[in-house]
Structure 1
Amino acid sequence: MKTSTLQAIKAHAVAEYPRECCGLVIVAKGREKYIACRNAAAGTEHFILPGEDYAEAEEKGEIVAVVHSHPDMPAAPTQADRVACEASGLAWHIVGVDSVDGAPAAGEVVTISPSGYLAPLVGREFSHGVLDCYQLIVDWYKQERDISLKQFHRADDWWNDGSSDLYTEGFPQAGFVAIKDGDKPQVGDVILMQIRSSNGVPNHAGIYIGDGLMLHHLHGRLSSRDVYGGYFQEVTRAILRYKDDIVV
């Protein structure tokens, strides 16, 4: 990476602190350039690079890398970074930013490239929209059934926006239908739960894996296998089955 590109990245990271910065490195007419983009994420936990910013960068040159910062944490890639890097097919540059004597200062830059990484089903870190409860179900179906489920956009904090019912609307698009009340869950069934949702709609999903257990990923926790009973049954709003598993 050229010195001027690195300087531009670090300046952007400092300017956006304590939020994550994000941007793209392009090559246009044989010259490398950093394009600062907007972070459309709510809060400071992650970044969302808008599609229109990506498209504008593509018009200016060939995109060769994705950039973002890690405020108040090491530049080492998270599991979400590694998963998203694989999906992008591009190199990722991560810059650490810390407060030094009351002012932000950019430090180490770590670069990763696609290498075939897959996040574990159990013990993965939470990152909404990248490694969350829906993505866990997507990955389980791919690994266990070789089925690629449809992705749908998941805006930050959608369950508290006063109107969205994303999972009720989204899972049917991915090929799931509700089973009858009283029917017992079978392996692969999706359990829709409502957990602290201001919209009063299901906002958490787990997958039944048999023997009274479900695999799920709660916000702010590692993905885990837990007994499907007690509290989780109380907050269950529907159990869905993949269309290919329905016997008529």
Structure 2
Amino acid sequence: MLEQTILEHAKRMAPQESCGLVIIQDGTEIYIPCENQHIDPENHFSIAAEDYIQASQIGEVIAIVHSHPGGNPYLSTADRAHQLKTDLPWWLVCDEKIIKFECVPKLLGREFIHGSTDCYGLFRDAYHLAGCSLPDFDREDNWWRQGKELYLDNLAENGFKQVKRDIQPGDIILCCYASSRANHAAIYLGDQTILHHVPNQLSKREVYNERWQRMTHSIWRYRDWQPSAFMGICNDLAVDSI
């Protein structure tokens, strides 16, 4: 019922972007449609502060909703920048579907914490922003020293296939980082650049140079990957530019 109400609101408002708030009241999720206050409502949205305050007086705001009529199924750079400010999930209506984006930390500049904001956490969150849902595997520190294979045991089961050539943006590069096992994942961004997170460093972009190429174990591609989805990752990386 909740999602149907959201979809119907988006359909009524097209070609303008619809917008609204999801609140929780007495354990029930309720959608509150809001007027799009933006000067360019076909390409952007803005919710009045008064609408937000009124909604929060009724219940706890748990998500912000808007639509991309005939647009892209991922957050724009402006969307992502504002999501980070709200620190809330954003639900996006596109192609008569609702895509729910958690407010994951910005991809660049993360502190390394094994088991959360580590190399797999970056990989998983980047794919989440591209609209691809991956499980959060339990992983002990130094699992690769205990004879385990976090990546090789799970990638194929979760929609990835190994590729031998023609690396593409969005592909996952598995590396043997100070180990004989594939214990590190990087996302290929194109132009010989990777996005990754190594211990004792902040997450960053880096040249896929000879050092990393020597450490490369294999390259993997998501079977359902759509090249356009890569923009969901790029838009996060561009947040600091606006």
Relative to the length of structure 1, the TM-score reads: 0.48
